[in-house]
Structure 1
Amino acid sequence: MAQEYVLEATVRDRVGKGAARALRRENKIPAVIYGGKKPPLPIALPYKDVNLKLHAGGFLTHVWTIKVGGESIRVLPRDYQLEPVRDFLAHVDFLRITRDSRVAVEVPVHFENEEESPGLKRGGVLNIVRHTVELDCPATSIPEALTFDLTGLDIGDTIHISAVTLPDDVAPTITDRDFTVATIAAPAVTPDEEDAAAEEAAAEEAEEAAEGEGEAEGGEEEGSSDDSES
């Protein structure tokens, strides 16, 4: 299960662009907690702490406990906005969660035992079709990642979602097919290899053509000799 974060927050008494700019000057980030059949709660969080967690990975799959106004609220980040010009974190939306909450989340895909794959040993390429898989799961039991074992896989083999064992209460949101996550593809051909192959094919074709001409000329000479004898 993904780890949980704990952060201290303060309630925002003002909202809007001006108030948000004022918060950022104080090295804080505006955010809002919504859901749980309660009114939205505007809050401010320490910018540095939230930004570090954003770049640590798994930002949208980790449950947070936000302590604000004497209350501890369990939440899940559902969206965030970046400032379009300078690319800094501008706002975060959090969803209140309970023990019974279920969510659809994108969970990253990992692979292990690449050295045990005959196909990769022979120069094959791991072609990742899905870098994340959307899962329907309890908000309090989100897998950190889905790890697929490459042991024994050869060139041409396909890795389906059924290759990984999911907890009983977790399922892919795509339920109508055993979809592909990755494949072991044949080695990629470089431009130099393509040129070499083309030159080799051209040489073989020229050699075959020359042999054909030689055989034709030999046949004509034999025919000429027969005519003179007659």
Structure 2
Amino acid sequence: MAAEKITAQQRTEFGKGAARRIRRDDKIPAVLYTHGDQPVHLTLPGHDTMLALKHGGANALLELDIDGKTQLGLTKQIQIDPITRHIEHVDFVLVKKGEKVTVDVPIHVVGDAAPETLVVTENSVVSVEAEATHIPEYFEISVEGAAIGTMLHASDLALPSGTTLLSDAELLIVNVTQQISEEALEAELEEAEADAGIEREESDEDAEAEAAAEGEADGDAEGSSEE
């Protein structure tokens, strides 16, 4: 994973007020945590940083140019506004080329399992150790043609050279089960609601069907009395 270069400015103003002023200028406040030293507070260009983080994925590696000195920052946390979806703050940890780091890497499930199956993703990330400049963006695991009962574990992942699995090798990633019918799912839901003491409100469709059935029954009864 190549590091994207971002020009950062070291800042001396802190607090919510300073952060709001930075964001108003279409910039992002950030902190670079170093090894044992004091953290470095930064201001990053908003648009370029957003693109770099989007391209780099969950463990984006950025080459931060801070006052002419280049530092490698591994993304550890991104705070995003839940309404505007704008990046509000980024935490980085300082890394060096050749250094091994521990990261969580997402898993992408690809392919189509056999007909009438349900593919359940039990765990969507695994923890690995990798060189800071060669962190996998994601791992792929295929369920193409997988039959009912197929279970894929962390040990089934194809890891690139230099990457070591830290998660339990038996960690279940994907479980392929029997696809449940709509009728069976509805029956299970009704049973669970009954066990929990939940009374389901009658739907308009059920009410209409019940009324129609009662009407037919009344009609049959009248016909029998006339006879």
Q: Fold-level match, TM-score > 0.5?
A: yes
Identity among equivalent pairs (%): 27
Match of 1:110 in 2: 108
Letter in 2 for 1:101: E
Alpha-carbon shift at residue 152 of structure 1 (Å): 4.8
Candidates 158, 170, 188, aligned match of 2:180: 188
Contact 1:108 1:133 survives alignment (8 Å):
yes
Selected match of 1:68 from 66, 76, 82: 66
CA shift digits 1:164-184 (9 cap, x unpaired): 222343223224x42110011
- Residues 89 and 70 from structure 1, CA distance in 2 versus in 1: closer, same or farther, beyond 3 angstroms? same
Aligned positions, number: 187
Does the alignment pair 1:162 with 2:160? Answer: no
Taking a change above 3 Å as real, the CA distance of residues 80 and 111 of structure 1, as seen in their structure-2 partners, is closer
Question: Residue 51 of structure 1: CA displacement?
Answer: 3.0
1:12 is displaced (CA, Å) by 0.8
1:84 Cα deviation (Å)? Answer: 6.0
Q: Which residue of 1 aligns with 2:193?
A: none
> Quick one: distance in 2 between partners of 1:79 and 1:152?
37
Q: Structure 1 residues 12, 125: CA separation in 2 closer, same or farther (over 3 Å shift)?
A: same
**Shift of the alpha carbon at 1:111?**
2.9
Question: Helix, strand or coil: the match of 2:22?
Answer: helix
The runs of 5 or more residues in structure 1 that have no matched partner are: 115-119, 196-230
Aligned-residue offset at 1:129: 0.9
* Alpha-carbon distance change, 179 to 16 in structure 1, aligned in 2, over 3 angstroms: same
Q: Judge conservation of contact 2:61–2:75 (CA < 8 Å) in 1.
A: yes
Q: Which residue of 2 aligns with 1:25?
A: 24
Deviation at 1:88, TM superposition (A): 3.2
Task: Indicate conservation of the 8 Å contact 1:33/1:95, yes or no.
Answer: yes
Is the deviation greater in 146-155 or in 82-91?
82-91
Alpha-carbon shift at residue 190 of structure 1 (Å): 0.5
TM-score (norm 1): 0.71
Q: TM-score normalised to the size of structure 2?
A: 0.72
